Amino acid sequence: MTYRIAVIPGDGTGPEQVREGLKVLEAVAQLEGFKYETVIYDFGGERYLRTGETLPDGAIEELKQFHAIYLGAIGHPDVKPGILEKGILLRLRFELDQYINLRPVKLYPGVETPLKDKGPEDIDFVVVRENTEGLYCGAGGFLRRGTRDEVALQISINTYKGVERCVRYAFEYCRKRNKKKKVTLCGKTNVLTYAFDLWERVFHAVGEEYPDITRDYAHVDAICMWMVKNPEWFDVIVTDNMFGDIITDLGAIIQGGLGIAAGGNINPQGVSMFEPIGGSAPKYAGKNQINPLAAILALAMLLEHLGEERAAARIERAVQEVCSKHLKSLAAGRMGYTTSEVGDLVVRYL
């Protein structure tokens, strides 16, 4: 069998990062003896500026034919915020029903965290973010826009279906992960008394089916504090789309920054998409300075998702070696190596 992988290099530094990921893919496929083919799609800001099109007709159907999607970054400085995000990234997440955003927050040995007195044994948890509803649904509107009486609404839509499958994924993941056996719901039950009433009820109803797993709850504001002060308390955190967006970026910074933070947009019954979460970083585009490790780890997540666990573990180990033996910093331009040299190093340690 040959894995079919759709590749969307995207904007800014996306292509440079993805290039290194594909370099690692080629090497690890050889070592592990699996076959794959890639098809490159040029979705992104350049194409939009040229054609006025975010995703062409039929793109979604076409993408459904792949085993997985590998994404660089979406976001272009010349395009108004929201257009590419909604027209490409969020549309893929929603239309491919990638209802889980999975974000491991793990500090590798040799990587520097900005937190005092915290090491790899303290920072090792996973955020399971709902990825297809909540405030991201796009519902809302204006009344009397542009006047002094303007009202702007933004609506969070939460469904039993959406919350249930997300919460269940979190409990299943926690069981499989088999570490602290604890799932923490991150919400705001005392203020968002509709949305998180649903979340809380579903969390406990589903959680009762997992007597081996401890259930914990904290308000999102407290979660942010504890991620900085006591990250060792967490195992699996489950939350809605907006809070998930916030706490996963906070997670990225405590694990060493965007240079190393990867995520998966997962539809367990469909096609999933893996990406470095750092964005398109336009100011580094084309400079061969961006850190490709996040994209390389996204590739590892992709391979793990396809069942190539050994290949994934191999990449993860190689990344760790490169972090602890070579890089001066994970930050773009300060690694002590170029983007392609870092890719080469990872290949060397495979």
Ligand X SMILES: CC(C)[C@H](C(=O)O)[C@@H](O)C(=O)O
Which residues carry out catalysis? 136, 188, 221, 245, 249
Q: CA neighbours within 13 Å on the CB side: how many for 320?
A: 12
Closest CA to 294 of 41, 6, 13, 69: 13
Tokens 């915290």 sit on residue: 118
Q: In sequence order, what are the residues at sequence separation of 6 or more whose Cβ sits closer than 8 angstroms to the Cβ of residue 341?
A: none
Nearest approach, Cβ of 84 to a copy of itself (angstroms)? Answer: 8
Which of ligand X, a copy of itself, none has residue 69 at its interface (CB below 5 to 8 Å by kind)? none
Q: Do you know the residue count of the chain? A: 350
Rule CB under 6 A: say whether 193 interacts with ligand X.
no
Helix (H) or strand (E) holding 328: none
Nearest approach, Cβ of 191 to a copy of itself (angstroms)? Answer: 6
Name which of residues 75 to 114 contact a copy of itself (CB under 8 A): 75, 81-82, 85-86, 90, 113-114
Q: b/e for 243-264, b at 16 or more Cβ within 10 A?
A: bbbebbebbbbbbbbbbbbbbb
Closest-by-Cβ residue to ligand X is 85
Which stretch, 6-14, 33-41, 84-92, 106-114, contacts ligand X (CB under 6 A)?
A: 84-92
Residue number, 242 or 350, with CB nearest to ligand X: 242
C-beta separation of 156 from 195 below 8 A: yes
Rule CB under 6 A: say whether 344 interacts with ligand X.
no
Rule CB under 6 A: say whether 46 interacts with ligand X.
no
- Contact pick of 22, 25, 277, 335 for ligand X (by CB under 6 A): 277
Q: In sequence order, what are the residues at sequence separation of 6 or more whose Cβ sits closer than 8 angstroms to the Cβ of residue 157?
A: 133, 134, 137, 139
CA distances from 191 to 167, 220, 247, 280 (A): 21, 11, 18, 34
Going through 240-300 in order, the beta strands assigned E by DSSP cover 262-266, 272-276
Nearest approach, Cβ of 284 to a copy of itself (angstroms)? Answer: 15
Nearest approach, Cβ of 112 to a copy of itself (angstroms)? Answer: 8
Chain positions contacting ligand X, by CB under 6 A: 85, 89-90, 190-191, 221, 245, 277
Binding site for a copy of itself (CB under 8 A): 75, 81-82, 85-86, 90, 113-117, 135-136, 138, 140-142, 145-161, 164, 188-195, 197-198, 201, 220-222, 224-225, 228-229, 242, 245-250, 252-254, 257-258
